[in-house]
A and B are shown apart, each in its own frame.
Chain A
């Protein structure tokens, strides 16, 4: 994967949804990354970065929500956040803050 995180990776998850090859990664570099793996006809694949979400603190975990366009993230600043990626792939749409 190009554009890998720049500090230690705490979690990596493939989307659990059928036929989805989206991949999320959480890192100590305070970002969550969303990638999509696309295999071409020859079998060689490419992993494109779809989005990158900045957090205030290192991110320790990430998981997919009700679809592969929804992410929940857990970070060291006591927050669990929800990110939607449907409309704008570069920014966090619909950020929900579950203050713990």
Chain B
């Protein structure tokens, strides 16, 4: 089992496994039989918003499920294996393998990241106006002797209040971005190892940063101090969108 998410709006526990299946469990109901849904590829990342579930998979595939529909179809069926058509099927806007996906707290869209130092931002609304707003940008790169060394973007997290988001990369760097203005708000000092996971607290005051050595260097031992969780207390405006000048 690769990922698990919980929808408090629907009391659903949804997990994704590397055998290319999605599993839906109803939390409070002991009689509920978990429902299995087949996916076209291996899932890499799940993210949930109040109404949607985004599943990022291998082969740059991406499914968006509507949680209402998903909950209804799962509870209406006595079958434990269901073929549920996602609300939308998309191809990633990034050229390389998807690493992480995170939904916007306002339920309008999501950001995804790839192993090749890039982040894309897209909106759920299928209208061409909304789709025209999508964009991608390069990040987590470092010039070494005129060549850009590109790192994977391992983690994404949206700020629950400001709607900005943080990205964490294999370069050990955490940056905060304004998804609307398409600007970088802040970049933090490099950590000693790769950033593995990020999370904002519900009040938006803290950012948890987990670092771990990447498996890239092939070493098995974990060097002292390379696995750690940091909590960064954010100043009032630290993750806030800058007002337009």
Taking Cβ atoms with an 8 Å cutoff, the residues of A that contact B are 1, 4-21, 23, 25, 27, 35, 37, 39, 43, 45, 47, 60-66, 72-76, 78-80, 82, 98, 100
Which residues does chain B contribute within 8 Å of A27, judged by CB atoms? 227
Partner of A63, one of B6, B200, B208: B6
Which residues does chain A contribute within 8 Å of B200, judged by CB atoms? 14
Q: Is the CB of A14 within 8 A of B201?
A: yes
Compute how far the CA of A14 lies from the CA of B209 in the bound complex, rounded to whole angstroms.
11
Q: Is the CB of B1 within 8 A of A4?
A: no
Which residues does chain A contribute within 8 Å of B28, judged by CB atoms? 66
Q: How far is the CB of A69 from chain B (nearest CB, A)?
A: 13
Given contacts A72-B6, A74-B2, A100-B17, 15 further A-B contacts (CB under 8 A): A1-B229, A6-B227, A7-B212, A7-B222, A14-B202, A21-B203, A23-B208, A27-B227, A39-B233, A60-B3, A64-B6, A74-B15, A80-B4, A98-B15, A100-B34
Q: How far is the CB of B99 from chain A (nearest CB, A)?
A: 13
Q: Is the CB of B222 within 8 A of A80?
A: no
Q: How far is the CB of A32 from chain B (nearest CB, A)?
A: 11
* Pairs A–B under 8 Å by Cβ, sample size 25: A7-B222, A8-B227, A9-B211, A9-B229, A12-B229, A14-B199, A14-B202, A14-B206, A14-B208, A16-B202, A18-B202, A25-B197, A39-B233, A45-B206, A60-B1, A60-B2, A63-B5, A66-B28, A72-B4, A78-B1, A78-B17, A80-B25, A98-B25, A100-B1, A100-B34
A9-B197, A14-B200, A75-B1 are known contacts. Are A37 and B23 too (CB-CB below 8 A)? no
Q: Is the CB of A61 within 8 A of B11?
A: no
Q: Is the CB of B233 within 8 A of A43?
A: yes
Q: Is the CB of A74 within 8 A of B4?
A: yes
Q: Is the CB of A9 within 8 A of B13?
A: no
The total of Cβ contacts below 8 Å across the A-B interface reads: 136
Kindly identify, within residues 189 to 229 of chain B, every residue whose CB is under 8 Å from any CB belonging to chain A.
Answer: 196-203, 206, 208-213, 215, 222, 227-229
Which residues does chain A contribute within 8 Å of B203, judged by CB atoms? 18-19, 21
A1-B231, A8-B227, A16-B8 are known contacts. Are A100 and B23 too (CB-CB below 8 A)? yes
Which residues does chain B contribute within 8 Å of A7, judged by CB atoms? 212, 222, 227
Partner of B198, one of A12, A37, A65: A12
Closest to A62 in B: B4
Closest to B48 in A: A63
Which residues does chain B contribute within 8 Å of A80, judged by CB atoms? 1, 4, 13, 15, 23, 25
Q: Determine whether B27 belongs to the interface, using a CB cutoff of 8 Å to chain A.
A: yes
Q: Determine whether B230 belongs to the interface, using a CB cutoff of 8 Å to chain A.
A: yes
Q: How far is the CB of B69 from chain A (nearest CB, A)?
A: 21
Q: How far is the CB of A31 from chain B (nearest CB, A)?
A: 12
Q: How far is the CB of B42 from chain A (nearest CB, A)?
A: 13
Which residues does chain B contribute within 8 Å of A8, judged by CB atoms? 196, 212-213, 215, 222, 227
Closest 6 CB pairs of A and B: A74-B1, A8-B212, A74-B4, A9-B210, A1-B229, A12-B210
